[in-house]
Amino acid sequence: MAQRDKEFGSGRGGQVERDVAEPSEGGVEQEEIETRVGWRYTLAQVRNDPTAMAGLAVVAVMTTVAVLATIDGYVLDYWVAETFWYHPLNDPNTVQQLLPPVGFENVNGQGTIDHPLGTDRRGRDMLVRLVYGSRIAMTVGFASTSIGMLGGTIVGAVAGFYGGWIDDVLMRLAETLYAIPFLVLVIAFMAAFGTNIWFAMVGVGVASIPTFARLIRSRVFSVREEAYIEAARAAGVRDRRIILRHIIPNSFAPVLVQATLQIGVAILIVAGLSFLGYGAQPPTPSWGQMLSKSRDVMLNSVWMSVWPGLAILVTVMGFNMFGDGLRDALDPRLQN
């Protein structure tokens, strides 16, 4: 216990410790207690951090919305939206183009509660398009980060574990990918293989591999010197098993934090791609593309450029707040 106190630094560490660690769970191995207390400690830290919890709430709400919208879109063919609300893709029957948000008035009429956030140039409800636009952001965010995390973890763990020329080659490759701006790389990728949201996802994922690879590699350098790795080697465990069962799990905490932040970055990049026309193609709504369409009517219909931007801002901020909280909990040196 004294050991843990030292590890988690001065001040608040000791106090939280008392809340979290139940004394002596007889029969359980020492190491197991250590890890379990570590994770419980982290969770307790995050739970006590109002900013992180607010971020988590935003992330949860946005994910739920996106999942429901995806189910409605792909499985039910927008049946729910059409029946109870408006169709997010098709032009409506009653054309009320560029109607302002509720409480505002312009030449097209008074904003009504039917379209609380106003309508776009083809009279489609802004709110429903924002909700269905969340699909692109969230899908690409999660999927591309998974690709980057998986690829980066493998590359970084192998490079760090073997070192030598393997490390040199892999790290030069990672640096090469890093040297081309993310956006340019993905645009060229999509120009080559097709302008398609799936390619955007893969492109952003591949482009984020170096970030993860660098991170896990530097962790692996310290982990591989640990006594338990040496013990595993002495016991004749194969390299692949050591990497998969010992190195990666023990280097994973910072990757998790980076992944949370990376989802936000991916959402920003996809918004930028869509803004340049390399993203989801109309009529499928995406936030970046809505912003790009709003440029022609920016002067008179400000709301069209405000809402999608706010949606991106809130979502990305949610991921950042949660990621920051997670990092603070895992790395007590930076605790605020």
Q: Which is nearer to other proteins, 33 or 317 (CB)?
A: 317
What is the nearest approach in angstroms of other proteins to the Cβ of residue 51?
A: 9
What is the nearest approach in angstroms of other proteins to the Cβ of residue 261?
A: 8
Q: Which is nearer to other proteins, 24 or 336 (CB)?
A: 336
**What residue spans of 48-125 are helical by DSSP H?**
50-70, 79-84
Q: Which is nearer to other proteins, 137 or 149 (CB)?
A: 137
Q: Which is nearer to other proteins, 168 or 230 (CB)?
A: 168
Q: Which is nearer to other proteins, 43 or 298 (CB)?
A: 298
Q: Please give the structure tokens belonging to residue 321.
A: 């707040």
What is the nearest approach in angstroms of other proteins to the Cβ of residue 182?
A: 5
SS3 281: coil
What is the nearest approach in angstroms of other proteins to the Cβ of residue 225?
A: 12
What is the nearest approach in angstroms of other proteins to the Cβ of residue 109?
A: 22
Residues within the interface to other proteins (CB under 8 A): 172-173, 175-184, 187-189, 191-193, 221, 264, 268, 271-272, 275-276, 288, 291, 294-295, 298-299, 302, 305-306, 308-309, 312-313, 316-317, 320-321, 324, 333-334, 336
